[in-house]
Structures are given as C-alpha cells and as structure tokens.
Amino acid sequence: MSTSDGMVQYHFRDAIGGFFEFPTENARAILPPELQPIEPHHGSSVLSVMAFDFHDSPVGDYGELILSILVSPRVEPGVPMPRSAFFPFRLATTTRESREHAIERWHLPHYMQDISLTWERGDGHITIHATDRGEPIVDMRVTEHEWSNVDHRYQAFMNDEEGAYTSTIMMAGQFSENEEERGGITIHSQAMTGLVEDWDVDFTPFRELWMKNGLQTFHPLQTLASYARR
C-alpha cells in the first residue's frame, strides 16, 4: 500500500465524522501555540470525532476512532490549499499492528488499548459504538445528505516528544455532508475520553460527514521547523 514516493494508502468502507463545538480555552490548553483553532463562533472551537472502517491497508483490516481539533491550515503561495486541517490528539485502533504502524509512521498520539468498533448501517444514517473491553467510549450517529464523488485535500498536524510534523491527507470517495443537526454523540466517561469529559462539548453536531468506499492517502510527513525551535 506504499507508493514509491512515500505515500501510503488506506481503503475504507465507511468513514464518518461529527463536528462539535466546545469552549476555545479548552482547545488552547492542548494545542501547540503555533496552531490556531477554527472558531465557528467566537470562543467556540471544534471537536472532530471521526471513525474509519478500513478493509485494505498496510496493516490489514482495522477500525479507527480519532479525536481532533479543527485548526487553521497552513496556506502557502503556490501550494494547493487544503479543505481543512486537524490536530489529532487521541486515536484508538482495533488492532495492535495498526496502532504501532500509526505511532511509528505518523507520530499519531494513541490510546494504548485495542478498542472495538461496531457499525450500524441504517437507511440514511450510520452509527458507531466504540468500546474498550465492554466499557463504552463513544456512540455517534451521522445522517446522510446528497452524495457526490469528491477528492479532498486535508492537513494533519502531529506533535510528540520527537518533534512536530504535518502531512497532507487526500480523501477520495462518495461523500455526503450536512449541517441539519440530525445526528448526535454520547461521550462516555472513560480513559480515552477523559480529557474531553470536562470540555462542555455541545452534543449536537453542527456538521455531519460521511464518506463511502473511499481511499485515504497519506503524503510523507514533513517536519515543522518552527515547532522544532521551541
């Protein structure tokens, strides 16, 4: 699944996401100072909760749950603009192999237990239940809107004790998004979500995203010099 130019591809059946507002002071508490949270309203940042159902990847079949904060992308002259940018601060996967791969290759901050992800696919909606050894972590429901084939460019920013990095991520597939506020989330009190528990998250998503039969392509990591100076 790796190409000669260092890109890595992950095929998935479904990827879903919900954007939830929460107070910006909680976002700033964990964001590197160089990253600015996106604020749909002054004082409100965005918690992104995403789940993937991968079926073909360098580490086989696995599921992934990602908690991120939406941040302003790095916009540079002459470089294609990302649609949006994320700072993932907590990931969990369903297999050890996928977890180790993501930590080593992408410096993604992981919850160190294998979790279980259950997908309920309904008529016009999809729900995931994430659990750790039977203990609930997150339940999230996303609804569909119009579908279209897209090829979107995103940025991710990673930060660990070794340094700070960014990567372009392409997402191609059948895509639906809406701001109809029909979905929802329950964030349970659990080790993975401990950080989020006191964030006063609004549990109605202002945006719901769903991609089917898609391909996620990670471009090679870039080290961020400005972070390294810190």
User: Binding residues for other proteins, per CB under 8 A?
Assistant: 1, 3, 5, 7, 9, 11, 23, 36, 38, 40-44, 72-78, 80-84, 145-146, 151-153, 168, 170, 172, 177-180, 200, 202, 204, 206-207, 215, 217
Which residue, 41 or 133, is less far from other proteins as judged by CB? 41
Residue 196 to residue 95: CA distance in whole angstroms: 23
Classified as helix, coil or strand, 100 is helix
Give me the helices (H) in 93-193, please.
Answer: 96-106
- Residue 179: CB minimum distance to other proteins, A: 4
Residue 9 to residue 169: CA distance in whole angstroms: 10
- Residue 116: CB minimum distance to other proteins, A: 27
- Residue 171: CB minimum distance to other proteins, A: 9
- Residue 104: CB minimum distance to other proteins, A: 22
Residue 180: count of CB within 10 angstroms of its CB = 11
Asked if 40 contacts 207 with a C-beta cutoff of 8 angstroms, the reply is no
Which residue, 78 or 134, is less far from other proteins as judged by CB? 78
Which residue, 116 or 217, is less far from other proteins as judged by CB? 217
- Residue 133: CB minimum distance to other proteins, A: 33
Please tell me what DSSP assigns to residue 134.
Answer: T
Which residue, 146 or 161, is less far from other proteins as judged by CB? 146
Asked if 81 contacts 41 with a C-beta cutoff of 8 angstroms, the reply is no
Which residue, 83 or 121, is less far from other proteins as judged by CB? 83
Give the HSE-up count for residue 8: Cα atoms under 13 Å, Cβ half-sphere. 12
Asked if 195 contacts 30 with a C-beta cutoff of 8 angstroms, the reply is yes
- Residue 212: CB minimum distance to other proteins, A: 15
Which residue, 117 or 224, is less far from other proteins as judged by CB? 224
Q: How far is CA 98 from CA 56, 59, 85, 186, 222, in A?
A: 12, 6, 23, 25, 21
